[in-house]
A and B are shown apart, each in its own frame.
Chain A
């Protein structure tokens, strides 16, 4: 039987606020344990939460970014459970009235097709601390630095159908939140953590199968592998006539498998009820309108504009709008050099290639947009060839200055002086009597291939600086001339 995989994702997105969602403590990553935990974070007696307005602003920006319903009135609830890294014995979350309601999200797959993924809701909540089981013999260490970090939990409809779609969604989501500036999207540091709900059903069926939930997967690659593993696992069970158990599973990256979290506890009853220490969040229309007017241009709109304004392919535009910094970089280069297509080629080719090799983000590129545009201008005005340009780019990358400086200091200027070129051509012809004879004996079709040898020799003699167009012309004439002479 052929099975359809049905996937819904819950992403816990850490919002990039300076301080925690209900206290003034810093949210900086990587500090010494418990140095960023105030009396509020420690749930000392009598301490009270105060909502961080910036967290609300970020959540609403996200909602506006996916054209979702914004909760004009949203309510915080207590989600009650005991755990040592949950200081209050409850997590402040949102249950019945979240801040972001239904929305939609477009993803583009590698084959260029696109799909719309429904967003069920997104709500604000606080993160828990961390339990550290290593380093403490038979005991557990508790670090509450992360306790109270603002999270936006973004829940999709069961609209995703494959690991590839899930990853495409996560990448698009990451791109969106980076555009909005509401999160650093850093999966390795836990700024984006993903729970995967996955079930199988016979192809063509429209009832949902029993799902498993895979908790806390923290990289695109692991999401892909976890879904692949889980799809096969469930298919095996179903094909051998078994039933999938509804349960929570963990993805073990080392063994590349998902495992049941064998917990003694029965179903948790979180006893949600409205948090009496916080007032409902009531948003004014004018405040929302203000935020809407301040939203940056988001990836779908930017991609469409790059296609129409710069004549780029949808694919190229998609690569360039992946991050706001990259798109801004590209646009700066394109404006400066005046040729968007060459700018796009250089940004996607040499620049991204080099950045990837050195594992650098675009914002840390040693070559500035102005420098790259300067280089492209020298290609456009025939000062250097595309091939020399790559050398110049290398040098710029190493910090040797801008294109003109490098071209000058290295003497890389293209030779376009006809006298100089003619002399080189003559020398090559004189030094290659056999090849000249062969060329002259050949028919027109073969000659086109054989001329490449002479071009190569001239370029070599010029250390690559000869203007290749002019060399071709000169060679064709001289080799032809001599034939006439003979």
Chain B
């Protein structure tokens, strides 16, 4: 049962090598042993998980069990789960138990998945290190003095440490890909509109997209197939057929044109990481792909544009947390103004408050044209760069992050240094494109991520490319070292 991929577990469950209840117990035991140190889960749900596993075992004895019957997974605590506290890692929602499932949760349940619990993250998904959680920092299983990345750091850490077979994540500016890179797993942010946002707590509505995080591209293909598809309850969900991503994994890379943006291989990129990325690109060449240098001329606009648009949307998305209907309410408010200010001051952490202030400022009368409108213009230029690039190449490749996992606390007092973590990932969200991150070797014992970006709805090609590369290499098979007795890795 140890260290198996979702694809292998599906087969093993069908072959009755073990039951879903046995498998689920094994994950719950591992969580109990390991997660005190990692803190990758905010909530663990043994009763729910075992009940779902029993139900899955019954389905597995029948004809045509659903695709993921009995597979234990974890959900980022940003996805609403009926009857199960959904906190978004915020004190604001510490007491919030949704009466509904997010569409993603509903679809994965329908596909037979077992819910182990809810994973840690940056508060309201605002961050790149999972250090801003109300429930404490999450640690990187490769080195517990280091961050797992963020904001989906709990999901990445849990999968890397084999505390879940796979997990859901969300990606607004890199929040699936960056932690996947830093924890040595594979994660894909789908095209904007590919996966329903209903029941996924909003950070920046025009950028947020949910996706799977798992050990392999094949696992991501299986999970994405279950998560994706039109949802009439999300107006930005696209009514596009969902291809059979798993069947498409065998697509050949012969003749595949891969664009390498010059802007992604500049000074920011740590040389050791660059070496790993080039090594991975040589493997792709060996598999028949052609490498082409391209330009994404407006890349440098990504960070300023993103840090206007995302906070602007967040500042109003988070206005609903006012202490009136649900969530944190301050004790004995004197009046309405006191109710609002104290509930929000107490309920939101520093980074969330910082972004609300920045976003409110950017949308204010007199500043709107200089900030929000300009940022939208930059966004169009960035998107156009990508569209132009895709007239020359099939996919784009480069590093996911400038360096491997950094130390806990290293960037918490320097928001801009933290924002630069997402320098290669933000543009993809601004353009609404699909992109994945996959392991590409290590630097100093820490994993490094290769990022692949595709044209809109080009997930199948991305997953196939990653899968072919994983068939030819073994970077994705590396596992974090076992924890030492003190819980202090290497």
Are the chains A and B members of one assembly? yes
Task: State how many angstroms separate the Cβ of B76 from the closest Cβ of chain A.
Answer: 12
In the bound complex, residues from chain A placing their C-beta under 8 Å from that of B96 are 45
- List the one stretch of B194-202, B219-227, B475-483 in contact with chain A: B194-202
**Residues of B165-220 whose CB lies within 8 A of A:** 197-202, 204-206
- Determine whether the beta carbon of B325 is less than 8 Å from that of A87: yes
Q: Judging by beta carbons under 8 Å apart, are B319 and A47 in contact? A: no
Chain B residues 396 to 429 lying within 8 A of chain A, measured CB to CB, are none
A269 beta carbon closer than 8 Å to chain B = yes
Q: Which residues of chain B from 324 to 362 have any CB-CB distance to chain A below 8 Å in the complex?
A: 324-326, 336, 340, 360
Measured CA separation A323–B364 after assembly (Å) = 46
- Distance in angstroms from B380 CB to nearest chain A CB is 13
Per-residue B-contact encoding for A174-215, CB less than 8 Å = 1, 0 else: 000000000000000000000000000000000000000000
Query: Does A232 belong to the interface (CB within 8 Å)?
Result: no
Residue B54, interface by CB 8 Å: no
Among B198, B235, B372, the most chain A Cβ lie within 10 Å of the Cβ of: B235
Closest approach, in angstroms, between the C-beta of B395 and any C-beta of chain A?
Answer: 27
Closest B residue by C-beta to A80 = B316
Task: Write the B290-325 contact mask toward A (1 if CB under 8 angstroms, else 0).
Answer: 000000000000000000000011001011101011
A253 at interface, CB cutoff 8 A: no
Q: Which of B13-21, B31-39, B98-106, B263-271 contacts A (4 or more CB under 8 A)?
A: B98-106
| Residue numbers in A under 8 Å from B98 (CB-CB) | 44-46
A271 to B358, CA, bound (A): 13
Known A-B contacts A42-B325, A44-B98, A45-B93; the reply to A271 vs B233 at CB < 8 A is no
Question: Which of these, B205, B316, B336, contacts A84 with CB under 8 Å?
Answer: B336
- In the bound complex, how far is the Cα of B100 from the Cα of A87, in angstroms? 18
Closest A residue by C-beta to B88: A45
Given A45-B88, A84-B324, A84-B336 in contact, is the A277-B235 Cβ separation under 8 Å? yes
Residues of chain B contacted by A445 (CB below 8 angstroms): none
CB-CB under 8 A for A271 and B235, given A84-B336, A277-B205: no
* Chain A positions within 8 Å of B364 at CB level: 269, 271
Contact of A142 among B102, B312, B324, B340 (CB under 8 A): B324
| Proximity bits, B138-168, A CB within 8 Å = 1, else 0 | 0000000000000000000000000000000
Please give me the residue from chain A that is nearest to B234 by CB atom: A48
Residues of B within 8 A of A273 (CB): 312, 316, 363, 368, 372
Q: Which residue of B lies closest to A279 (CB)?
A: B235
Asked if residues A51 and B235 are in contact (CB atoms below 8 Å), the reply is yes
Q: Is A44 a contact partner of B235 (Cβ separation < 8 A)?
A: no
Interchain CB contact under 8 A, A88 and B320? yes
Given A80-B363, A276-B313, A277-B236, also A46-B198 (CB < 8 A): yes
Q: How many Å from the CB of A127 to the closest CB on chain B? A: 17
* Chain B, residue nearest A23 (CB): B233
Cα A415 to Cα B407 in complex, Å, equals: 112
Q: Is the CB of A46 within 8 A of B320?
A: no
Whether B251 sits at the interface, judged by CB under 8 Å, is no
- B199 lies within 8 A of A46 (CB): yes
> Which residues in chain B, 73-106, are within 8 Å of chain A measured between CB atoms?
79-80, 86, 88, 93, 96, 98-100, 102
Chain A 129-162 interface mask (CB, 8 Å, partner B; 1/0): 0000000000000100000000000000000000
B376 closest partner in A (C-beta): A274
- The answer to whether B99 and A39 have CB atoms under 8 Å apart is yes
Contact of A50 among B233, B322, B324, B325 (CB under 8 A): B233
Interchain CB contact under 8 A, B198 and A269: no
Please, which residue of chain A has its CB at the minimum distance from the CB of B204?
A276
Chain B nearest CB from A417 CB (Å) reads: 76
Closest B residue to A51 by beta carbon equals B235
* CB closest residue in chain B, given A76: B235
Give, as a whole number of angstroms, the nearest-CB distance from A46 to chain B: 4
Residues in A whose Cβ lies below 8 Å from that of B312: 273
Nearest CB in chain B: distance from A132 CB, A: 14
Chain A contacts for B286, CB-based, 8 A: none
CA distance A279 to B98 in the complex (A): 26
Question: With A39-B99, A80-B363 in contact, do A276 and B326 touch (Cβ < 8 Å)?
Answer: no
Note all chain B residues with C-beta closer than 8 A to A229: none
- In the assembled complex, the Cα of A180 lies from the Cα of B64 at a distance in Å of 53
What residue of chain B has the Cβ atom nearest to residue A37's Cβ? Answer: B325
Report chain B residues within 8 Å CB of A39: 99-100
Interfacial residues of chain A within 328-377, with CB under 8 A of chain B in the complex: none
Known: A80-B316, A276-B313, A277-B235. A46 touches B324 (CB 8 A): no
Name the distance in Å between A44's Cβ and chain B's nearest Cβ: 7
List the A side residues contacting B234 at CB < 8 Å. 48, 50
Is A413 engaged at the interface, CB distance under 8 Å to the other chain? Answer: no
Output the least CB separation between A276 and chain B (Å).
4
B:33-90 near A, CB below 8 Å: 79-80, 86, 88
Once the chains bind, are A48 and B233 in contact (CB under 8 Å)?
A: yes
- Check B235–A48 contact: CB distance below 8 A: yes
In-complex Cβ contact of B232 among A43, A50, A89, A272 (8 A) = A50
Chain B residue at smallest Cβ distance from A267: B365
- Which of A42, A43, A82, A271 sits near B365, CB closer than 8 Å? A271
CB distance from A369 to the nearest CB of B (A): 44
Cβ-neighbour of B326 out of A44, A88, A272 (below 8 A): A44
Taking a contact as CB atoms under 8 Å apart, the answer to whether B340 and A82 are in contact is: yes
CB under 8 Å from chain A, chain B span 96-137: 96, 98-100, 102
CB distance from B374 to the nearest CB of A (A): 13
Q: Does A49 contact B (CB under 8 A)?
A: yes
- Bound Cα distance from A150 to B380, whole angstroms: 32
Q: Does A220 contact B (CB under 8 A)?
A: no
Residue of A49, A89, A276, A278 near B319 (CB, 8 A) is A89
Q: How far is the CA of A80 from the CA of B232 in the complex (A)?
A: 26
Q: A82 and B202: CB pair below 8 A?
A: no
Q: List 12 A-B contacts (CB under 8 A).
A: A42-B326, A44-B100, A45-B98, A45-B201, A46-B199, A49-B235, A84-B322, A87-B320, A87-B325, A89-B318, A271-B360, A273-B372
User: Besides A273-B363, A277-B202, 14 other CB < 8 A contacts?
Assistant: A44-B326, A45-B96, A46-B98, A50-B233, A51-B235, A80-B319, A84-B336, A90-B316, A271-B365, A273-B312, A273-B316, A273-B368, A277-B235, A277-B236
